[in-house]
């Protein structure tokens, strides 16, 4: 048989040079098959090939193939691309006459490369043979054949011919060149209007599947045809349900009916056809509002259009598209002030030529559209109360500052009602969760809700109600459970379900706000106060109470005396107020105390003091400092109340994170040798900390540097740290921000003790000082900073260890704005001449943020900068004195 000339193409194996040949034993065959093998080899010897393993071909003939598994493993993959089948089918639209061709023994018409013929050698009972032409079963045979067909029909593909391996469809009668390729007459069809191409009509003769595997195979074939049938996923739904069932019993009458309907749809209209070139595409969008989504109708319409563009992108690029919709989508997408997802969708849609047109209705249809959209049935309101379900999400929080409850009640039409309640009595976390459910149920009953779904992230409470757990605490949990069950009986229908905390974020946030921020003027959301427990019992015994002065009202007498001159009736108390009032004043309606060391201090009530302690101790930019530092920081930021030190110490003792992650002091083993720096940013200590839990971008190490004078800290996270990273870090975070230092102290790691880093420091006249090997105490400042940062990260993260990179900036900010005992000032103040404004001063303004005018602010700033050198000198003296006293105290225990 005459085939393709080797000058046009030949199949090369490109075997790996290191691959070794494999010798296999001869296999036994049935006598009938041995006869077939003999006849086949005799036939194929005329063309130059034979084989070993037999399979049945589709036409019922024996096809002879060789098992080339070992040879294929030794060959690299040829990634020549195959054409897209759906694109080939689309290209046949509008053709009046088609010819479907199939190549005859197509693989055998391509010669093997002479150097690779012996590699195809196979064994038979009669002799050894090798292929001179490309056989079936080789790894890259399909790619070679597709490359040949693409080369032959390159000028015609896309115009008059489409090719997929050995299947060819001709769309015109023109034939430009003949390549002597013989075709298979039994598989060719000439001059027809429709035909079978790549097995698209095989579904019509497919029998019902007999096993689950055959059902999956049939479903896969049907899915490939899905784009030609409208609402195809609905038609295929019985197939998906049947696949879930095990065994052959999954095939039901519904599946058979759906199968017959799909066959009918493939042969009869309406079948979705490919678009005609230069013809407009009309798109109809129907965006239905879903009670589970927060998208508006306009956003749903835009989302539907974006989804269609992603699915039908080739059609949008090749044709003008007319969008028929009743929404003013064009005006919205062209607004210059778009934000969020609408802006993103507008940018994605801007590359397509979409024409927006209103969806017009006939005269008789206008009223029907109006009635469909706006009419309400007489019993619609009744159904919304009796047959529709409301959704209640609850959460409770118990913290050292108090306890709170968060509620989120959603109506059947998607309206939300939020409520934050602060509990005015001590409550554990489980009791707060129960209070949240009871408050939510009372709210639902007040709105005449009859059907309610309750969602809570408390596994204990949900399991109690579902009777999976037993409430053994008769004094608390059992009483709460009894009241919850009694309240639920007042609903017609109800369900309760445990959800993840991530799915209950809104209620959790409301509970956290109520528990941590009782100051009404500090937040926009009003907080309700529940003074008594829902299961409080009436006591039958007589009680004797000793009333104490309310700490929240300690400012009342002084403020009243300053405003009106009115003194308390008690002579002793009046004398005390007159003496104290000399150190207080009223500015902007708030009481301030004259400080002995700084500006006026804003006087806080007890609830305001708790808010300040919470923000300074565990706020967004805080690091769980100790009691002394917490009180010192509150005072330095401009706040005052009579029991600052005691309240700060008590707050820290009640903090769970501080108790679990606080440092444990150890007995000293050697004497303490302090190291000092002559001026700010002259001497830095540098060290590498890690590995930490892997964070995004595989970051698990931290490079930290600390100034020895004012304790300023710089740190960055890295996946791995090399000498070039250290060089960039020093240049960006030290040199470019604070100038060239005099000395950098580091350990003997390869990142610091490298030629590249030494040359960098030498060029800038920076002295490298290295600590003693295996003695980190010689770089004590860096080690102390590492210990502080690690402790702060532990307290902020708890179990979410992978988020340490996100929390690192907040930890650094808290460290820089916390006063240090050696210097008596914050690193920020020693670096910039004044203290930073912290988030607490936004909720409760101090004298410098509330009363100082802008003109005066510039004067105050200049004065602080003039005094910066004096402050630093005082800090240096204080730090030296502190180091000497600390060394004396430390060395006594050595």
The pLDDT tens digits for 495-504 are 999 888 888 8
Tokens 């009372």 belong to residue: 442
User: For residue 393, what are the β-bridge partners?
Assistant: 408, 455
Q: Which two tokens stand for residue 293?
A: 């989504």
Check: CB of residue 769 under 8 Å from CB of residue 745. Answer: yes
Among 415-419, 576-580, 750-754, 854-858, the range scoring the smallest mean pLDDT is: 854-858
Check: CB of residue 208 under 8 Å from CB of residue 112. Answer: no
Residue 291's contacts (CB-CB under 8 Å, 6 or more residues apart) are: 412, 413, 414
Tokens 């598209």 belong to residue: 321
d(CA 181, CA 193): 25
Check: CB of residue 283 under 8 Å from CB of residue 247. Answer: no
At 440 the three-state DSSP class reads helix
CA 105 to chain centre: 53
**Running DSSP on this structure, what letter comes out for residue 112?**
B
Among 236-240, 312-316, 795-799, the range scoring the smallest mean pLDDT is: 795-799
Check: CB of residue 88 under 8 Å from CB of residue 68. Answer: no
Check: CB of residue 759 under 8 Å from CB of residue 630. Answer: no
- Cα distances (angstroms) measured from residue 723 to each of 72, 281, 689, 720: 46, 60, 15, 10
d(CA 862, CA 871): 14
At 491 the three-state DSSP class reads coil
* pLDDT-derived band at 45, boundaries 50, 70, 90: low
pLDDT at residue 287, rounded to an integer: 42
CB count, 10 Å around CB of 90?
17
Torsion of CA 248, 250, 253, 256, to 10 degrees: -70
d(CA 309, CA 348): 9
Burial zone of 259 (CB within 10 Å; 0-12 exposed, 13-18 middle, 19+ buried): buried
Check: CB of residue 738 under 8 Å from CB of residue 684. Answer: no
pLDDT at residue 48, rounded to an integer: 54
Higher pLDDT, 354 or 272: 354
* pLDDT-derived band at 729, boundaries 50, 70, 90: very high
Superfamily of domain 672-786+804-816: Ribonuclease H-like superfamily/Ribonuclease H (3.30.420.10)
Residue 803's contacts (CB-CB under 8 Å, 6 or more residues apart) are: 695, 797
Strand order in the sheet with 402-410: 493-498, 451-456, 390-399, 402-410, 416-423, 527-530
Mean pLDDT of 842-869: 58
Higher pLDDT, 862 or 705: 705
Check: CB of residue 779 under 8 Å from CB of residue 747. Answer: yes
Top mean-pLDDT range of 56-65, 91-100, 711-720: 711-720
Q: Which two tokens stand for residue 108?
A: 């055998």
d(CA 442, CA 462): 18
d(CA 732, CA 833): 22
Mean pLDDT of 313-322: 74
Mean pLDDT of 160-189: 63
Burial zone of 836 (CB within 10 Å; 0-12 exposed, 13-18 middle, 19+ buried): middle
Q: Tell which CATH architecture fits domain 382-530.
A: 2-Layer Sandwich (3.30)
Torsion of CA 580, 583, 586, 587, to 10 degrees: -160
With 90 as the cut, is the pLDDT of residue 681 above it? no
* pLDDT-derived band at 135, boundaries 50, 70, 90: confident
Residue closest to 616 by CA, chosen among 809, 401, 328: 401
Among 186-200, 345-359, 553-567, 841-855, the range scoring the smallest mean pLDDT is: 186-200
**Running DSSP on this structure, what letter comes out for residue 16?**
-
pLDDT at residue 546, rounded to an integer: 36
d(CA 306, CA 343): 12
pLDDT at residue 519, rounded to an integer: 46
% of the chain beyond a pLDDT of 90: 3
Residues 796-811 pLDDT 10s: 776 556 788 888 888 8
pLDDT at residue 726, rounded to an integer: 92
Top mean-pLDDT range of 106-115, 621-630, 654-663: 106-115
With 60 as the cut, is the pLDDT of residue 119 above it? yes
d(CA 455, CA 656): 27
d(CA 127, CA 791): 79
Please give the backbone phi and psi of residue 845, each rounded to the nearest 5 degrees, phi first.
-60, 145
Domains 31-192 and 672-786+804-816 share a fold: no
With 90 as the cut, is the pLDDT of residue 84 above it? no
Residue closest to 829 by CA, chosen among 879, 865, 788, 880: 865
d(CA 286, CA 190): 44
Top mean-pLDDT range of 141-155, 495-509, 510-524, 674-688: 495-509
Q: Which two tokens stand for residue 18?
A: 């290191």
Mean pLDDT of 861-886: 61
Residue 183's contacts (CB-CB under 8 Å, 6 or more residues apart) are: 101, 102, 103, 104
**Running DSSP on this structure, what letter comes out for residue 702?**
E
Residue 787's contacts (CB-CB under 8 Å, 6 or more residues apart) are: 663
C-alpha neighbours within 13 Å on the C-beta side of residue 311: 7
d(CA 434, CA 491): 18
User: For residue 356, what are the β-bridge partners?
Assistant: 323
First CA to last CA across the chain, in angstroms?
Answer: 100
Residue closest to 398 by CA, chosen among 515, 523, 230, 547: 515
Check: CB of residue 733 under 8 Å from CB of residue 705. Answer: yes
With 60 as the cut, is the pLDDT of residue 853 above it? no
d(CA 715, CA 698): 17
User: What are the strands, taking DSSP E only, across 253-313?
Assistant: 281-284
pLDDT at residue 455, rounded to an integer: 92
Residue closest to 640 by CA, chosen among 588, 568, 585: 585
Domain 31-192 has CATH 1.10.10: no
Q: Strand 743-746 to strand 683-689: parallel, antiparallel, or no bridges (unpaired)?
A: parallel
Q: Which two tokens stand for residue 427?
A: 């409550």
Mean pLDDT of 187-205: 53
Top mean-pLDDT range of 642-656, 713-727, 852-866: 713-727
pLDDT at residue 783, rounded to an integer: 77
pLDDT at residue 33, rounded to an integer: 67
Burial zone of 768 (CB within 10 Å; 0-12 exposed, 13-18 middle, 19+ buried): middle
pLDDT at residue 728, rounded to an integer: 92
* pLDDT-derived band at 382, boundaries 50, 70, 90: very low
Higher pLDDT, 65 or 121: 121
Q: Which two tokens stand for residue 541?
A: 């015994």
Mean pLDDT of the chain: 73
Strand order in the sheet with 354-358: 281-284, 321-325, 354-358
d(CA 782, CA 792): 15
Mean pLDDT of 124-144: 79
User: For residue 437, what are the β-bridge partners?
Assistant: none
d(CA 812, CA 804): 12
Element of type H or E holding 653: helix 644-654
pLDDT at residue 277, rounded to an integer: 58
Element of type H or E holding 529: strand 527-530
With 80 as the cut, is the pLDDT of residue 17 above it? no
Structural domain boundaries in the chain = 31-192, 202-267, 281-374, 382-530, 672-786+804-816
Higher pLDDT, 484 or 540: 484
At 840 the three-state DSSP class reads helix
Please give the backbone phi and psi of residue 581, each rounded to the nearest 5 degrees, phi first.
-65, -20
Residue closest to 602 by CA, chosen among 828, 421, 849, 393: 849
Residue closest to 681 by CA, chosen among 728, 637, 741: 741
Question: How big is the chain, counted in residues?
Answer: 894
At 628 the three-state DSSP class reads helix
Top mean-pLDDT range of 101-105, 266-270, 613-617: 613-617
Radius of gyration of the chain (CA): 41
% of the chain beyond a pLDDT of 70: 66
At 609 the three-state DSSP class reads helix
pLDDT at residue 730, rounded to an integer: 92
At 842 the three-state DSSP class reads helix
d(CA 185, CA 781): 89
d(CA 516, CA 839): 15
Residues 756-788 pLDDT 10s: 999 999 999 999 888 877 666 666 777 777 777
pLDDT at residue 56, rounded to an integer: 37
d(CA 128, CA 105): 23
d(CA 829, CA 710): 9
d(CA 831, CA 679): 11
């Amino acid at each position: 048989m005459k085939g393709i000339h080797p000058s046009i193409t030949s199949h090369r194996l490109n075997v790996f040079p290191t691959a070794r040949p494999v010798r296999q034993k001869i296999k036994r065959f049935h006598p009938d098959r041995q006869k077939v093998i003999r006849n086949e080899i005799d036939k194929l010897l005329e063309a130059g090939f034979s084989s070993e393993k037999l399979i049945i071909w589709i036409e019922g003939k024996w096809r002879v193939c060789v098992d080339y598994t070992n040879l294929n493993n030794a060959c690299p993959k040829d990634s020549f691309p195959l054409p897209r089948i759906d694109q080939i089918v689309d290209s046949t639209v509008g053709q009046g006459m088609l010819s479907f061709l199939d190549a005859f023994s197509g693989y055998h018409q391509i010669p093997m490369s002479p150097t690779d013929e012996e590699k195809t050698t196979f064994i038979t009972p009669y002799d050894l043979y090798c292929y001179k032409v490309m056989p079936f079963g080789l790894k890259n045979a399909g790619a070679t054949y597709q490359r040949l067909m693409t080369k032959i029909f390159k000028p015609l593909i896309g115009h008059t011919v489409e090719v997929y391996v050995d299947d060819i469809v001709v769309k015109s009668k023109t034939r430009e060149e003949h390549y002597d390729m013989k075709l298979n007459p039994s598989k060719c069809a000439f001059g027809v209007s429709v035909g079978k191409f790549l097995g698209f009509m095989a579904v019509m003769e497919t029998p019902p599947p007999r096993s689950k595997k055959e059902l999956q195979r049939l479903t896969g074939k049907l899915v490939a045809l899905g784009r030609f049938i409208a609402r195809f996923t609905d038609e295929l739904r019985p197939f998906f349900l049947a696949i879930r069932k095990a065994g052959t019993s999954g095939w039901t009458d519904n599946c058979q009916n759906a199968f017959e309907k799909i066959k009918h749809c493939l042969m009869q209209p309406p079948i979705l056809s490919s678009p005609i070139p230069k013809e407009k595409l009309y798109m109809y969008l129907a965006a239905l509002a879903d009670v589970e989504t927060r998208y508006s109708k306009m956003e749903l319409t835009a989302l539907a259009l974006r989804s269609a563009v992603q699915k039908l992108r080739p059609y949008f690029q090749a044709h003008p598209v007319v969008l028929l919709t009743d929404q003013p989508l064009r005006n919205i997408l062209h607004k210059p002030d778009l934000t969020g997802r609408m802006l993103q969708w507008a940018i994605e849609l801007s590359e397509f030529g979409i024409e927006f047109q209103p969806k017009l209705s006939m005269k008789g249809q206008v009223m029907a559209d109006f009635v469909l959209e706006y009419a309400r049935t007489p019993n619609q309101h009744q159904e919304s109360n009796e047959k529709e379900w409301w959704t209640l999400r609850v959460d409770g929080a118990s913290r050292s500052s108090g306890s709170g409850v968060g509620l989120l009640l959603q109506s059947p039409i998607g309206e939300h009602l939020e409520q934050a309640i602060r509990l005015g009595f001590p409550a554990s976390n489980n009791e707060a969760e129960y209070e949240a459910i009871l408050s939510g149920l009372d709210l639902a009953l007040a709105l005449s809700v009859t059907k309610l779904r309750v969602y809570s992230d408390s596994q204990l409470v949900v399991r109690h109600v579902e009777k999976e757990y037993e409430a053994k605490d008769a004094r608390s949990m059992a009483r709460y459970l009894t009241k919850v069950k009694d309240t639920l009986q007042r609903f017609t229908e109800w369900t309760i379900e445990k959800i993840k905390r991530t799915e209950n974020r809104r209620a959790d946030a409301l509970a956290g706000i109520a528990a941590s921020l009782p100051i009404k003027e500090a937040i926009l959301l009003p907080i309700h106060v529940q003074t008594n427990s829902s299961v409080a019992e009436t006591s039958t015994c007589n009680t004797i109470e000793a009333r104490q002065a309310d700490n929240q009202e300690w400012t009342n007498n002084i403020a009243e005396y300053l405003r009106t001159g009115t003194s308390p009736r008690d002579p002793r108390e009046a004398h005390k107020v007159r003496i104290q009032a000399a150190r207080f004043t009223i500015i902007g309606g708030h009481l301030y105390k004259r400080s002995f060391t700084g500006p006026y201090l804003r006087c806080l009530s007890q609830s305001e003091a708790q808010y300040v302690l919470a923000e300074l101790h565990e706020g967004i930019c805080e690091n769980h400092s100790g009691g002394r530092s917490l009180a010192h920081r509150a005072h330095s930021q401009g706040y005052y109340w009579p029991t600052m030190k005691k309240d700060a110490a008590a707050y820290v003792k009640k903090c769970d994170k501080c108790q679990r992650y606080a440092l444990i002091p150890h007995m000293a083993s050697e004497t303490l040798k302090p190291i000092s720096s002559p001026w700010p940013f002259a001497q830095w200590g540098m060290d590498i900390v890690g590995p930490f839990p892997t964070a995004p971008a595989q970051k698990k190490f931290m490079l930290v540097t600390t100034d020895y004078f004012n304790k300023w800290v710089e740190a960055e996270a890295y996946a791995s740290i090399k000498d070039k990273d250290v060089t960039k870090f020093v240049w960006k975070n030290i040199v470019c921000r604070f100038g060239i230092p005099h000395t950098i102290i580091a350990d003997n790691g390869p990142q610091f003790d490298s030629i590249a880093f030494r040359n960098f420091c030498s060029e800038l006249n920076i002295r490298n000082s290295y600590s003693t090997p295996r003695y980190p105490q010689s770089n004590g400042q860096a080690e102390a900073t590492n210990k502080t940062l690690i402790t702060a990260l532990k307290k902020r993260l708890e179990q979410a260890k992978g988020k340490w990179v996100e929390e690192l900036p907040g930890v650094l900010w808290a460290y820089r704005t916390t006063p240090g005992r050696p210097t008596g000032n914050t690193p920020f103040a020693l670096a910039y001449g004044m203290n930073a404004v912290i988030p607490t001063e936004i909720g409760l303004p101090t004298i410098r943020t509330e009363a100082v005018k802008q003109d005066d602010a510039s004067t105050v700033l200049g004065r602080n900068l003039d005094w910066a050198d004096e402050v630093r000198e005082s800090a240096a003296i204080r730090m030296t004195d502190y180091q000497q006293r600390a060394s004396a105290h430390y060395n006594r225990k050595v």
